[in-house]
């Protein structure tokens, strides 16, 4: 090793001359500050589209006034933990904030995706799970006991796109969307899209599909719609058994984690198209399109049109595992509307947790339904809401029912 | 000492025989030190062995169901197509992840090695004395930046910066007959290439640090001899420094490769997470072994899904171990300290 003769040159000099690492760090910091000062003048431009969606759905939905809540159970725990769907996360955080003052219980919800929510409730690591795809019999078999699934709220899954100069309201139908998301249509000025949007000046950008990389109930709702309306999608995915679900084998596209990751990815990629819950699209100021429903009309997603998605459905299965995607023939219904289910063990063993759960969900199904408008979610209709309260009554504590 | 030859008899020994080394009575401290060091060494080996065994055990259900080698011969990862009673074809093919890992690492190496060798040469032989220290420290500081910060920087700064360049490349290189397939667009920002670039910056300090030591160990008189014979600085470096350092550079590159192979979070953020099959173009989305584990392990609920992720981890560990062992062997043999 060569002898370092530097020390003799720096003898008698200030300490920052002697220590090379310190000099390096100081140079680095000063340099960075100078560059940042220069660079801030030419700050990076985001690729978010310029148009802000203007609601065609005028007016607001009158918040429902449900009074059929259960009597409060005493002795509740002070905290509740939940995990699951990112689809419901904005609504859940509004509920948790309001319930902290209204009910005195802190609800901690992890927005990790429906699949993770299901596995966490199967392992009983959280008090409740949440999924936009209801648990199948085989899912319930893997849990530690029977599970009650209660729909909490309805919301539309929007088709967002990032096209400079194109405002909200681009029209799509199921078969076109199926071809886009399976890689059949690769350019924005494809004749199929232009045929649905006569007069619209579509750029010749390549389509960048963005989908979920994690197990997602939003994916389940969206692929359910594609399976029902697009034979091309079903063929590309190898049959209707594998073309729908929380996870599918996406032939093309960029994967983002959670609704949050997808909205970030599509916001930054010009020519991007993705499926997102409505609140994310609005809060990220993304443009979204109108989708053709069963009655043949192109409908904008909003509170009212999502509410219409359950108009006409009069009977529900007793365990409330119902598929409402593209079912309504109402001409004003938005077809890609989904429910989200709370997943709770029917046989609770901890009195405090059971009381807190029953009180919280009773509140969510009554007073909580009036708060949905602030984040663009849709409250449950009266038929469904009454059935949900009935489900809540089935929760037992060590064998005997807890609620009344 | 034996009595002088020719003299017999009774001359007494004037000098005592040398005492034997204290072999029979080792001191307690020596014993403790010996066994402590041995324990530490075996513990390290045990940990690696235990990790491999753990991965094999957890991955065993999937390996048993689909067959050990079917994972590396299939290149389609589709967990939604896994059913408990179907064992062929294997829906958990990992060939495209091995491809993604190797491709991003190779791109990273191709960019980082020349830059690192250049930086090391500048630091040891070209820069003025006062600048050597800070320059060297600055390169080392690159290694101190957390990997998630590299991911952020990659998404928000690097991608917009390289987009015009890559768009140009896709329109020119992408049209060349045979190799054009590897350069085709469209480029959406996240891709193998972007991940390779980010990896290049991350492994640069490692390679530069090792190369710096290798170049510094060149005998000074050889450099001075070359200069005395009239060589320019570049010729001197080429004649006296680089040939001797060849194996050291290779070892440094392999060390960097070992780091690049295992890098998770920065790659996951910029690679696009397209797990289905191999995408031939370097400007398209993909996935690496570590990125698919990071993305999918929290909700691996399909049949054999979690087990298959352990198999991915197993192969990743094997590849990383081989590369690291190779690197250490070469560096130890080549660098003269």
Query: Residue A46 has what pLDDT?
Result: 38
Cβ-Cβ contacts under 8 Å for A233 (sequence gap 6 or more): A177, A178, A179, A181, A182, A223, A226, A227, A243
Considering only the beta carbons, identify the residue of B276, B285, B337 that sits closest to A249. Answer: B276
Residue A20 binned pLDDT confidence (cut-offs 50, 70, 90): low
Q: How far is B285 from chain A (nearest CA, A)?
A: 7
pLDDT higher than 80, residue B44: yes
pLDDT higher than 60, residue B76: yes
CB B261 within 8 A of CB B320: yes
The per-residue pLDDT for range B116-125, each reduced to its tens digit, is: 999 999 999 8
Q: How far is A66 from chain B (nearest CA, A)?
A: 36
CA nearest A250 in B: which residue? B276
Considering only the beta carbons, identify the residue of B136, B185, B295 that sits closest to A213. Answer: B295
Q: Is the dihedral of CA B115, B121, B127, B133 positive or negative?
A: positive
CB A84 within 8 A of CB A130: yes
Query: Residue A162 has what pLDDT?
Result: 95
Question: Residue A260 is encoded by which pair of tokens?
Answer: 């949050």
Q: What is the mean pLDDT of residues B25-36?
A: 87
CB A327 within 8 A of CB A350: no
Strand partners, A342: A130, A150
Contact A215 B275 (CB under 8 A): no
The per-residue pLDDT for range A282-295, each reduced to its tens digit, is: 999 999 999 999 99
Distance CA B73, CA B93 (A): 7
Other Cβ atoms less than 10 A from the Cβ of B2: the count is 5
Query: Residue B8 has what pLDDT?
Result: 52
Residue A356 binned pLDDT confidence (cut-offs 50, 70, 90): very high
pLDDT higher than 80, residue A35: no
DSSP per position, A331-359: TT--SSEEEEEEEEESEE--HHHHHHHHH
Residue A5 binned pLDDT confidence (cut-offs 50, 70, 90): very low
Residues of chain B with pLDDT > 90: what percent?
A: 59
Considering only the beta carbons, identify the residue of A20, A253, A254 that sits closest to B134. Answer: A20
DSSP SS3 for B77: strand
CB proximity B157 to A under 8 Å: yes
Query: Residue A185 has what pLDDT?
Result: 95
Q: What is the mean pLDDT of residues B106-110?
A: 95
Among B107, B186, B201, B110, residue whose Cα is nearest residue B147: B201
pLDDT higher than 90, residue B88: no
Q: How far is A247 from chain B (nearest CA, A)?
A: 6
Q: How far is A250 from chain B (nearest CA, A)?
A: 7
Contact B274 A118 (CB under 8 A): no
Q: What is the mean pLDDT of residues B4-11?
A: 54
CB proximity A162 to B under 8 Å: no
CB proximity B75 to A under 8 Å: no
The per-residue pLDDT for range B125-178, each reduced to its tens digit, is: 889 999 999 999 999 898 899 999 999 999 999 999 999 999 999 999 888 888
Looking at beta carbons, which residues of chain A come within 8 Å of B132? 20
pLDDT higher than 90, residue A170: yes
Contact B141 A250 (CB under 8 A): no
Residue A53 binned pLDDT confidence (cut-offs 50, 70, 90): very low
The per-residue pLDDT for range A69-117, each reduced to its tens digit, is: 898 888 899 999 999 999 999 999 999 999 999 989 999 999 988 888 9
Q: What is the mean pLDDT of residues A321-325?
A: 91
Cβ-Cβ contacts under 8 Å for B31 (sequence gap 6 or more): none
Residue B206 binned pLDDT confidence (cut-offs 50, 70, 90): very high
Among A143, A189, A193, A154, residue whose Cα is nearest residue A302: A154
pLDDT higher than 80, residue A319: yes
Residues of chain B with pLDDT > 70: what percent?
A: 91
Compute the mean pLDDT over every residue in chain B, rounded to the nearest whole number: 88
Other Cβ atoms less than 10 A from the Cβ of A191: the count is 9
Rounded alpha-carbon distances, angstroms, from residue B119 to A121, B106, B140, B205, B278: 53, 20, 11, 9, 35
Structural fold of domain B95-334: MetI-like fold (1.10.3720)
Contact A255 B216 (CB under 8 A): no
Q: How far is A384 from chain B (nearest CA, A)?
A: 30
pLDDT higher than 70, residue A119: yes
Contact B185 A238 (CB under 8 A): no
CA nearest B92 in A: which residue? A249
Q: How far is A134 from chain B (nearest CA, A)?
A: 14
Starting at the earlier edge strand, list the strands of the sheet with A290-292. A171-172, A290-292, A298-299
Looking at beta carbons, which residues of chain A come within 8 Å of B81? 238, 242, 249
Mutate to test the interface with A, among B272, B274, B299, B302 (most CBs of A within 10 A): B299
Q: Are strands A337-345 and A147-161 parallel, antiparallel or unpaired?
A: antiparallel
pTM given for the model: 0.81
Rounded alpha-carbon distances, angstroms, from residue A143 to A109, A115, A121: 20, 13, 7
- Give the CA count within 13 Å in the CB-facing half-sphere of A247: 24
Residues of chain A with pLDDT > 70: what percent?
A: 86
pLDDT higher than 80, residue A3: no
Other Cβ atoms less than 10 A from the Cβ of A54: the count is 9
Residue A44 binned pLDDT confidence (cut-offs 50, 70, 90): very low
The whole-angstrom distance between residue A33's C-alpha and the CA centroid of its chain comes to 39
Among B221, B205, B309, residue whose Cα is nearest residue B255: B205
Considering only the beta carbons, identify the residue of B79, B134, B188 that sits closest to A23. Answer: B134
Considering only the beta carbons, identify the residue of B79, B129, B141 that sits closest to A28. Answer: B141
Compute the mean pLDDT over every residue in chain A, rounded to the nearest whole number: 86
Distance CA A132, CA A335 (A): 15
Residues of chain A with pLDDT > 90: what percent?
A: 65
CB A291 within 8 A of CB A334: yes
The per-residue pLDDT for range B270-313, each reduced to its tens digit, is: 999 999 999 999 999 999 999 999 988 877 778 899 999 999 99
Question: Residue B323 is encoded by which pair of tokens?
Answer: 């590369």
What region, left, alpha or beta, does residue B151 occupy, with left being phi > 0 and alpha being psi -120 to 50 degrees? alpha
Contact A21 B190 (CB under 8 A): no
A 339-398 residues with CB below 8 A of B?
none
Query: Residue A40 has what pLDDT?
Result: 46
Q: How far is A270 from chain B (nearest CA, A)?
A: 8
Contact B129 A256 (CB under 8 A): no
CB proximity B141 to A under 8 Å: yes
DSSP SS3 for A401: strand
Considering only the beta carbons, identify the residue of A25, A139, A206 that sits closest to B137. Answer: A25
B 286-305 residues with CB below 8 A of A?
295-296, 298-299, 301-302
Contact A27 B272 (CB under 8 A): no
- Burial string for B220-234 (b: 16+ CB within 10 Å, else e) reads eeebeebeeeebeee
């Amino acid at each position: 090793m060569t002898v370092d003769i530097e020390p003799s040159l720096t003898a008698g000099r200030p300490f920052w001359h002697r220590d090379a690492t310190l000099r390096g760090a100081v140079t680095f910091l000063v340099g960075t500050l100078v560059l940042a000062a220069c660079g801030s003048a030419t700050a990076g431009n985001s690729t978010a589209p310029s148009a802000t969606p203007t609601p065609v759905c005028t007016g607001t939905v009158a918040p429902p006034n449900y009074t059929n809540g259960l009597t409060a159970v005493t002795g509740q725990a002070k905290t509740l933990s939940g995990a699951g769907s990112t689809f419901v996360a904005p609504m859940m955080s509004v509920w948790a904030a309001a319930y902290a003052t209204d009910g005195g219980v802190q609800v901690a919800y992890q927005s990790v995706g429906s699949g993770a929510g299901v596995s966490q409730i199967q392992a009983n690591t959280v008090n409740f799970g949440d999924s936009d795809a209801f648990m199948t019999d085989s899912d319930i078999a893997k849990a530690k006991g029977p599970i009650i699934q209660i729909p909490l709220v309805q919301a539309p899954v929007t088709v967002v796109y990032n096209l400079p100069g194109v405002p909200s309201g681009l029209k799509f139908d199921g078969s076109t969307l199926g071809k886009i998301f399976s890689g059949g249509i690769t350019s924005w000025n494809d004749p199929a899209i232009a045929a649905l949007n006569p007069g619209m000046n579509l750029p010749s950008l390549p389509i960048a599909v963005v989908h979920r990389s994690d197990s997602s109930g939003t994916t389940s709702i969206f692929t359910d719609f594609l399976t029902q309306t697009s034979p091309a999608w079903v063929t590309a995915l190898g049959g209707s058994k594998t073309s729908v679900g929380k996870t599918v084998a996406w032939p093309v596209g960029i994967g983002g984690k959670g609704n949050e990751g997808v909205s970030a990815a599509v916001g930054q990629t010009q020519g991007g198209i993705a499926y997102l819950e409505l609140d994310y699209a609005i809060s990220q100021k993304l443009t979204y399109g109108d989708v053709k429903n069963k009655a043949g009309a192109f409908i904008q997603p909003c509170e009212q049109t999502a509410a219409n998605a359950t108009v006409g459905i009069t009977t529900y299965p007793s365990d409330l595992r119902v598929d409402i995607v593209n079912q309504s023939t109402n001409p004003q219904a938005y077809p890609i509307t989904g429910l989200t289910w709370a997943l709770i063990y029917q046989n609770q063993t901890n009195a405090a947790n059971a009381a807190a759960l029953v009180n919280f969900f009773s509140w969510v199904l009554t007073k909580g339904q009036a708060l949905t408008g602030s984040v663009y979610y849709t409250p449950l209709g009266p038929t469904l809401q009454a059935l949900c309260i009935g489900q809540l009554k089935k929760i037992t504590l060590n064998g005997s029912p807890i609620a009344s | 000492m034996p009595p002088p030859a020719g003299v017999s008899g009774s001359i007494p020994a004037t000098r005592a025989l040398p005492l034997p080394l204290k072999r029979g009575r080792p001191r307690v401290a020596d014993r403790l030190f010996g066994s402590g060091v041995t324990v530490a060494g075996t513990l390290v080996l045990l940990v690696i062995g235990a990790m491999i065994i753990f991965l094999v055990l957890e991955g065993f259900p999937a390996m048993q169901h689909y067959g050990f080698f079917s994972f590396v011969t299939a290149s389609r990862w589709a967990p939604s197509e896994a059913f408990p009673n179907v064992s062929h074809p294997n829906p958990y093919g990992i060939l495209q992840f091995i491809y993604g890992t190797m491709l991003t690492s190779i791109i990273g190496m191709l960019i980082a090695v020349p830059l690192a060798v250049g930086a090391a040469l500048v630091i040891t032989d070209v820069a003025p004395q006062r600048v050597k220290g800070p320059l060297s420290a600055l390169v080392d500081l690159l290694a101190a930046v957390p990997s998630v910060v590299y991911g952020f920087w990659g998404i928000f700064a690097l991608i917009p910066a390289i987009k015009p360049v890559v768009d140009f490349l896709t329109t020119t290189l992408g049209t060349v007959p045979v190799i054009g397939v590897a350069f085709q667009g469209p480029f959406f920002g996240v891709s193998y290439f972007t991940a390779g670039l980010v990896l290049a910056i991350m492994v640069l300090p490692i390679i530069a640090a090792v190369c710096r030591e290798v170049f510094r160990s060149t005998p000074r008189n050889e450099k001075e001899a070359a200069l005395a014979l009239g060589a320019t600085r570049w010729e001197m470096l080429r004649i006296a420094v680089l040939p001797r350092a060849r194996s050291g550079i290779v070892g440094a590159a392999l060390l960097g490769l070992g780091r690049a192979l295992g890098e998770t979070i920065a790659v996951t953020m910029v690679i696009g997470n397209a797990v289905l099959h191999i995408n031939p173009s370097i400007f398209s989305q993909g996935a690496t072994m570590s990125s698919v584990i990071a993305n999918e392990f929290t909700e691996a609920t399909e049949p054999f899904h979690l087990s298959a992720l352990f198999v991915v981890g197993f192969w990743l560990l094997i590849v990383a171990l081989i590369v690291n062992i190779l690197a250490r062997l070469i560096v130890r043999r080549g660098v003269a300290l």
